[in-house]
Structure 1
């Protein structure tokens, strides 16, 4: 992150804190869903993609998704059952969000590139959730619902994050920070 201004860092910190608050709420909602209806747990996982997508779409700079995800994870770590593990999971998600843009050398910022990262993450999450929840507790139909929800959730929440970033950009948030 060459030529990183204080303004950019503070903007990332603000998105990270808001994302951390979102993570805290989602950890309890997701935990409740996992306890009551485990097959729908995958639908809650996409929330963790929102802060990174907003930062990437607003600022169009390398490393901002990882930075915002780590900050969100650290903010939420003290209030989640996973503790510091939440920060590690958020960092992993931020790193996966950076990969498609890193491959494109941070020169392409099209919607499809966001969706490619979300789809790859969805595949990873689907396999992880099947091993964590599905193979032990669910029948075949429940496992299919869990896998589909885990795959679709990052894509849906990435689109939501892109819509939020467009709204924030229209309101003037991040003006002068985005690369052309």
Structure 2
């Protein structure tokens, strides 16, 4: 991340703190539902992908997903049952979200690439959930339901992040913070 302004850092921190509050609430509520209603836990698991995707969609800059997701995990760490592991999970989520945009060299910010990022995140989340929750111990219908909920959840929350980013952009939150806007370099942006 080159040319990081204080304003960009503050905006990412604000999104990160809000994400940390959501992470904490989800951790405590999710702790109650993971063993009783794993489908509900799975469908809300994508919440962890919201802050990073929001920062990427709003600012169109490399590294903001990693920064924002890491800050969310750091803010949530003292209040979560898993402690500092929340910060490490935030880092991993941010890295996963950065990967498709890094491959595109941070030149493409189209909706489809965000959805690819959500699908990749969903595949990884689905695989982890299957192993951690013991998906092989459910009947076929239960396994499909749990696996599908963990797969689709990051995609859903990436879509919510895109919607929020559009609303915040219309309110002028990102004005002057997008790298492609500041340089006028003609990078591909939203459809």
Contact 1:8/1:177, CA 8 A, preserved across alignment: yes
Residue of structure 2 equivalent to 1:150: 150
Contact 1:134/1:146, CA 8 A, preserved across alignment: no
- The TM-score normalised by the length of structure 2 is 0.91
Q: In the comparison of the two structures, how many residue pairs are matched?
A: 180
Residue of structure 1 equivalent to 2:168: 168
Structure 1 CA distance, aligned partners of 2:47 and 2:133? Answer: 19
Greater fraction of residues in helix: 1
Structure 1: where are the runs of 5+ without partners?
none
1:35-80 deviation per Cα after TM superposition (whole angstroms, max 9, x unaligned): 3212432112100011001100111110000000000000000111
SS in 2 for 1:36: coil
Matched, 1:133 2:104: no
Residue of structure 2 equivalent to 1:38: 38
- The TM-score normalised by the length of structure 1 is 0.96
Residue of structure 2 equivalent to 1:177: 177
Residue of structure 2 equivalent to 1:99: 99
Residue of structure 1 equivalent to 2:119: 119
Structure 1 CA distance, aligned partners of 2:39 and 2:108? Answer: 36
Matched, 1:76 2:80: no
Structure 2 CA distance, aligned partners of 1:88 and 1:140? Answer: 33
Range moving further from structure 2, 34-43 or 160-169 = 34-43
Structure 2: where are the runs of 5+ without partners?
181-191
CA shift for structure 1 position 141? 1.3
